[in-house]
A and B are shown apart, each in its own frame.
Chain A
Amino acid sequence: MKEKLVMVGNGMAGVRTLEELLKLAPNAYDITVFGAEPYGNYNRIMLSPVLAGEKTIDDIMLNDEQWYVDNGITLKKGQEIVDIDRVNRKVIAADGSEQSYDRLLLATGSNPFMIPVPGNDLKGVISFRDIHDVDQMLAASKEHKHAVVIGGGLLGLEAANGLMQQGMSVTVVHLMDSLMERQLDKPAAAMLKRSLEERGLHFLMQAQTEAIIGDTRVEKVRFKDGTEIYADLVVMAVGIRPNTELAKKSGIHCERGVVVNDTLQTFDPRIYAVGECVQHRGIAYGLVAPLFEMGKVCANHLAKIGIGRYEGSMTSTKLKVTGIDLFSAGDFTGDENTEELVFQDAAQGVYRKLVVQENRIKGAVMYGDTIDGAWYFDLMRDETDISDFRNNILFGQAHLGDSGHGDDNRVAQMADSAEICGCNGVCKGDIVQAIGDKKLFTLEDVRAHTKASSSCGSCTGLVESLLAHTVGGDYSVAPHLKPMCGCTERSHDEVRVTIKDQELKSIRAVMDFLEWKTPDGCSKCRPALNYYLVCAWPQEGLDDYQSRFINERAHANIQNDGTYSVIPRMWGGGTSPKELRAIADVAEEYKVKTVHVTGGQRIALYGLKKEELPRIWKRLSDAGMVSGHAYGKALRTVKTCVGKEWCRFGTQDSTHLGIELEKMTWGSWTPHKFKMAASGCPRNCAEATIKDLGVVCVDSGYEIHVGGNGGVKVRATDLLCNVSSEEEVLEYTAAFMQLYREEAHYLERTAPWIERVGLTYVKERIVEDVDARKTLAERFLHSQKFAQVDPWKERAEGVDEHEFVPLKKVS
């Protein structure tokens, strides 16, 4: 006999919980759902676009009735539950019928608050909460002219905008002197008001409604000061209240909402609650993302896995009014202990304010260009110390390195044909359509379905903005530890620490100890784990080749047609006639289609068959060349200029330094590729200031720069320090690389790593703490003893032969 699960309420949070439960334990329960509305589950946050005529009801259905049938769920729609008999574990419906349960899930949502004034029950006075309300509004807009929306908050403005789109003359009545006062400060609210007025909305501010007047249908609204305005339709949008009626009646502890703990259980442990009806750690949430997070945790406990905890969410707000970009999060008003950073350009309609306390962001308000909202939100959530880039922070992340989109960051105003993801050719219209059609709610969803932001990631901010703009809310769970991948709940940092602390020495051991959810991981976590193990235990030779990406397994770069490229190392960018001759010979003999000089001063041969690689490597090896590791998350190249040996401006021997750097560091595996350069003078011909580590020679010695990137997002380096000798350059470089190797996340370049941990921290470890620097450098050099084996020579001599020959040729 299966246990019985009964859910009261058929809304987004509840059904999402069931979906999560079915994924985890498809056959655990006989499920019955009671819903008061006569529909399946629809996307309530999309009611605004339906009202505005941008979508239809069908567009926003999430689970139609067939879904319940397909999943063996009994849906009793239009049946209201009026009581819970907790002693006998059954719910009682309005018609007197009963349904017993082993576990009960309350997802009763919330009710709109109707202000208690005379006439609030007249015909034409409605709330904005469900499909029925939208139908009434649409019907009214066809027959009537004057609409009054009471409430200048998020919901009220969306309703007003929708009604205006339907051709009504709309007046928004607001009690306070500034719109959306819970999300916006006064300057932003004023900009919003002006913009909405330009679109044709009317506002009555600081107006307290006294009565709604009419015989059967509303005719006028009267205010405290005695003024009256005409109204054929009044929409109350002054707030929502968690619907706790049923829970209260059944003796379940409620305050503002149904009180739940971190496992979403009410005071009766057989009864769970999720969604807008609950109050968790004193907060009742109204945005979709926190509710889904609750659903995930609740499902985990219903499935009796019992490991998840909901620890609250930090939320941010977006307004879903077409053409208006607005973002708000956290404490945006501040107090005597906070500071304000403000950027305002009224003519351009741009406003940004950050509330900062002790160099940490506490809140943000943005109007106009909101592309950096997601970034500020991350910094706020992670409590990142912003002192290193505080001077530029108001100009946004793009300013720390233009991500290629220039100023074109106002997603709301972009045309549908505007390209968002340049890697995969995805336009705004494609993304918005997929979000609607495929019911997407998260960045991961959008990536999976549209491929936008799934390659280089430089458009992530735009995609997040679009998602937030379309779905209306944007969020993250309060603890910022993102799991490595879908195979585990553990973050990169947790995994790295555990590998060291528990002395775990194989991928299997890590997965077993940390209870991986998949049998052998995935293409995301396995290469990461392999790197972490190789980095943590250099001496033990733990490299698991099957967990390496093909390039690092085959020691060559796979190309789009399945052939490979070969790039031998040229120390410091220098070469010789003998090396060039060997390369030329190979190129001719193997009919290389393309010979190309790379950005890192190397020569690349393209279009080689995998089978040929060991023989080609043998030829290059015989001429004294080794692998250039151009295929690896590894030390790539050290680019140099000719320095004082030839150049009339050269101050030091940058070529020699570059060669020494490359000799020391080649063969090392790193979290992501690592590029260096050494320039002989501040003219910087080797472009050292966009490298992971760059040395700029000056008359008095050497400047060491770190964290630069010339790729997806250009970022100039930060100056780490000045030193006076080559030996010091080498020691600082070894220490810096080791710190990066040990502490960055897999696939995190030095630029985002430094932005994450802060330059100040890196300076502390490398420059200020001499012992730390020396120990780091020693660990690097120790690790190099085992890493500096030329993989090409080994394979030319027969190592991993199976990698390069077919299993069989069948004719």
Chain B
Amino acid sequence: MQHVEKLDMAQDWIEVGKLADIPRLGARVVNSPLGDIAVFRTASDEVFALRDKCPHKGGPLSQGIVHGKRVACPLHDWKIHLDSGEAVAPDEGCAASFPVKLDGDTVLLSLAASDGCPNK
């Protein structure tokens, strides 16, 4: 537990809004110095954050249709896993994911992008 808290502190959580500000099965954009980040909300009120750029041709993922734990890119309908940022096979590629969590109904985002993803 202690370990998790430490991690939390290190990550510098930023309050970006309320859960209700994001439509269910939808997304909103956070403009950041790292570029746009899409914050998604699933049917079961889980939140995920990805770089708002499809690994295929850079389409804004925030504008896509959210289904299950995936989003369909609006440009060419690539499907991206919301948790990992990886494209659903057989497509290959990945959008960097960002830590995001709920504190009550407040959405907290960290700008520490996940490692191992070329599309940061």
Closest residue of chain B to A445 (Cβ to Cβ) is: B90
Against B, the Cβ 8 Å flags (1 = close, 0 = not) of A643-675 are 000000000000000000000000000000000
- The listed residue (B28, B65, B70) touching A527 by CB distance below 8 A is B65
Q: Is B105 an interface residue (CB 8 A)?
A: no
B29 and A806 contacting across the interface, CB-CB below 8 Å? yes
B65 and A810 contacting across the interface, CB-CB below 8 Å? no
User: What CA separation (Å) do A520 and B24 show in the bound complex?
Assistant: 11
A522 and B67 contacting across the interface, CB-CB below 8 Å? yes
A516-553 residues with Cβ-Cβ distance < 8 A to B are 518-523, 526-527, 545-547, 549-551, 553
Residues of A contacting B32 in the complex (Cβ-Cβ under 8 angstroms): 809-810
Q: Which of A230-238, A276-284, A359-367, A554-562 lies on the face that meets chain B?
A: A554-562
Against B, the Cβ 8 Å flags (1 = close, 0 = not) of A435-451 are 00010000000001100
A518 and B65 contacting across the interface, CB-CB below 8 Å? no
A810 and B23 contacting across the interface, CB-CB below 8 Å? no
Q: Is A224 an interface residue (CB 8 A)?
A: no
A438 and B90 contacting across the interface, CB-CB below 8 Å? yes
Instruction: Known contacts A523-B77, A558-B75, A560-B75; decide if A518 and B21 are in contact (CB<8 Å).
Output: no
- B7 CB, min distance to chain A CBs, angstroms: 20
Q: Is B2 an interface residue (CB 8 A)?
A: no
- A665 CB, min distance to chain B CBs, angstroms: 27
Instruction: Known contacts A523-B77, A802-B23; decide if A807 and B16 are in contact (CB<8 Å).
Output: yes
- B57 CB, min distance to chain A CBs, angstroms: 7
User: What CA separation (Å) do A558 and B73 show in the bound complex?
Assistant: 11
Residues of A contacting B72 in the complex (Cβ-Cβ under 8 angstroms): 522-523
A448 and B29 contacting across the interface, CB-CB below 8 Å? no
- A443 CB, min distance to chain B CBs, angstroms: 14
User: What CA separation (Å) do A352 and B84 show in the bound complex?
Assistant: 52
Residues of A contacting B107 in the complex (Cβ-Cβ under 8 angstroms): 807
Residues of A contacting B65 in the complex (Cβ-Cβ under 8 angstroms): 522-523, 526-527, 546-547, 549-550
A519 and B43 contacting across the interface, CB-CB below 8 Å? yes
- The listed residue (A519, A526, A550, A808) touching B63 by CB distance below 8 A is A550
Residues of A contacting B63 in the complex (Cβ-Cβ under 8 angstroms): 550, 553-554, 558, 562
Instruction: Known contacts A448-B90, A523-B72, A807-B21; decide if A562 and B31 are in contact (CB<8 Å).
Output: no
Residues of A contacting B75 in the complex (Cβ-Cβ under 8 angstroms): 558, 560
User: What CA separation (Å) do A80 and B29 show in the bound complex?
Assistant: 62
Closest residue of chain A to B39 (Cβ to Cβ) is: A807
B24-61 residues with Cβ-Cβ distance < 8 A to A are 24-26, 28-33, 36, 39, 43, 57-60
B29 and A562 contacting across the interface, CB-CB below 8 Å? no
- B54 CB, min distance to chain A CBs, angstroms: 10
Instruction: Known contacts A554-B63, A558-B74; decide if A809 and B31 are in contact (CB<8 Å).
Output: yes
Q: Is B118 an interface residue (CB 8 A)?
A: no
User: What CA separation (Å) do A560 and B63 show in the bound complex?
Assistant: 13
- The listed residue (B16, B67, B77) touching A521 by CB distance below 8 A is B67
Residues of A contacting B16 in the complex (Cβ-Cβ under 8 angstroms): 807-808, 810
A546 and B23 contacting across the interface, CB-CB below 8 Å? yes
Q: Is B99 an interface residue (CB 8 A)?
A: no
- B41 CB, min distance to chain A CBs, angstroms: 10
User: What CA separation (Å) do A518 and B65 show in the bound complex?
Assistant: 14
User: What CA separation (Å) do A551 and B59 show in the bound complex?
Assistant: 13
Q: Is A811 an interface residue (CB 8 A)?
A: yes
Closest residue of chain B to A800 (Cβ to Cβ) is: B23
- The listed residue (A523, A560, A811) touching B64 by CB distance below 8 A is A523
Q: Is B113 an interface residue (CB 8 A)?
A: no
- The listed residue (A520, A526, A558, A807) touching B30 by CB distance below 8 A is A807
Q: Is B93 an interface residue (CB 8 A)?
A: no
B14 and A810 contacting across the interface, CB-CB below 8 Å? yes
User: What CA separation (Å) do A807 and B14 show in the bound complex?
Assistant: 12
User: What CA separation (Å) do A527 and B74 show in the bound complex?
Assistant: 13
Residues of B contacting A547 in the complex (Cβ-Cβ under 8 angstroms): 25, 65
Residues of A contacting B23 in the complex (Cβ-Cβ under 8 angstroms): 545-546, 802
User: What CA separation (Å) do A198 and B73 show in the bound complex?
Assistant: 52
Closest residue of chain B to A547 (Cβ to Cβ) is: B65
User: What CA separation (Å) do A802 and B20 show in the bound complex?
Assistant: 11
A449 and B90 contacting across the interface, CB-CB below 8 Å? yes
A546 and B24 contacting across the interface, CB-CB below 8 Å? yes
Residues of B contacting A810 in the complex (Cβ-Cβ under 8 angstroms): 14, 16, 30-33, 111
Residue of A518, A561, A806 with most partner-chain B CB within 10 A: A806
Q: Is B66 an interface residue (CB 8 A)?
A: yes
User: What CA separation (Å) do A522 and B71 show in the bound complex?
Assistant: 9
B67 and A807 contacting across the interface, CB-CB below 8 Å? no
Residues of A contacting B26 in the complex (Cβ-Cβ under 8 angstroms): 546
Q: Is B117 an interface residue (CB 8 A)?
A: no
Against B, the Cβ 8 Å flags (1 = close, 0 = not) of A56-99 are 00000000000000000000000000000000000000000000
Against A, the Cβ 8 Å flags (1 = close, 0 = not) of B12-24 are 0010110001111
A549 and B74 contacting across the interface, CB-CB below 8 Å? yes
Closest residue of chain B to A563 (Cβ to Cβ) is: B60
| Besides A518-B67, A526-B65, A550-B64, 17 new A-B residue pairs in contact (Cβ under 8 A), listed by A number | A438-B90, A519-B67, A520-B68, A521-B67, A522-B72, A523-B77, A523-B79, A527-B65, A546-B65, A547-B25, A551-B74, A553-B63, A558-B63, A807-B39, A809-B31, A810-B31, A810-B32
CB<8 Å pairs between A and B, sample of 17 = A520-B25, A522-B65, A522-B67, A523-B67, A546-B65, A547-B25, A549-B74, A550-B74, A558-B75, A562-B63, A802-B28, A806-B28, A807-B17, A807-B28, A808-B14, A809-B32, A811-B33
Q: What 6 A-B pairs are tightest by C-beta distance, nearest first?
A: A523-B72, A807-B28, A550-B63, A546-B25, A523-B65, A808-B16
